[in-house]
Amino acid sequence: MSATTPPYGEVTLSIDGPVATLTLRRAAKLNALTPEMLEALGGHLTTVAGSDARVVVLRGEGPKAFCVGADITRFQGLTPVQMLAWTGLGHRVFDALAALPQPTVAVVHALAFGGGLELALACDLRVAADTAGLGLPEVGLGTVPGWGGTERLTELVGRARAKDIVLARRTVDGPTAEAWGLVNTCVSAEDLEPTVDDLVSRLAAGAPVAVTLAKQLIDAAANGAPARILERLAGAVTSATEDLATGIAGFRTGTPPQFAGR
């Protein structure tokens, strides 16, 4: 932790052209999340949602951990009512992350446990190093995953594997996480940044309106919405954008289109 980082940690936001980067900064505590960090993250998400950023990248500071979850010292001893507020805060922030109009990428370079893995699960895509370790060990502390982990994990890996990870407190390595569908891509530590850069470039190159609509369509379909109706409506919306004309012109001329997002 640097001299300028408060003891309860912080979350910083930087926007460089089309890429917004959110960084958990509490390396001395393995980026364990505090209420202050969650509040800061929530504020940054509001900023990002209204920005011109086309892709959001989520990182954890330091070599040892993406995030090891909630700071135990901040929730031990809470009353049931206080625990409801604590878990509610996490749900609100993580749901806001999942609902961003831009695609989101979690860079899991090291440990992602508990609320840290749940934070990564709230992103659209996850890229992991082969040295990463992922798990939801809460039952070993006498509690349960509380920030959407049971739902999002089960959606990705299925009921049986979710129970293996949660009930048996299994730490999943990067290659296994990829094989199980817990992360999208697993690469060596030295290839992690080039892989993330390539993915971010691909995401940023898409037509922003179409990317946002496609993300919403996929999420809606996963929740049981009628895709045939929504796809027709979304297609009608894209027909009114300048980006569609730009994309068609680029296809005809064989040149990469430069989308303006309108």
Mean pLDDT, residues 173-182 taken together: 97
pLDDT at residue 2 is higher than 60: no
CB 11 within 8 A of CB 40: yes
CA dist., res. 262 & res. 254, Å (int): 21
- pLDDT by residue (tens digit) across 183-238? 999 999 999 999 999 999 999 999 999 999 999 998 988 888 777 777 667 767 77
Confidence of residue 3 (pLDDT cuts 50, 70, 90): low
Mean pLDDT, residues 132-136 taken together: 97
Count other Cβ atoms within 10 Å, centred on residue 142. Answer: 6
Beta bridge partners of 72: none
* H-only helix segments in 129-207: 149-157, 159-167, 174-180, 192-204
pLDDT at residue 41 is higher than 80: yes
* CATH superfamily assigned to domain 10-204: 2-enoyl-CoA Hydratase; Chain A, domain 1 (3.90.226.10)
> What pLDDT was estimated at residue 123?
98
Q: In the chain, where are the structural domains located?
A: 10-204, 208-253
- Residues classed as catalytic: 118, 138
Confidence of residue 97 (pLDDT cuts 50, 70, 90): very high
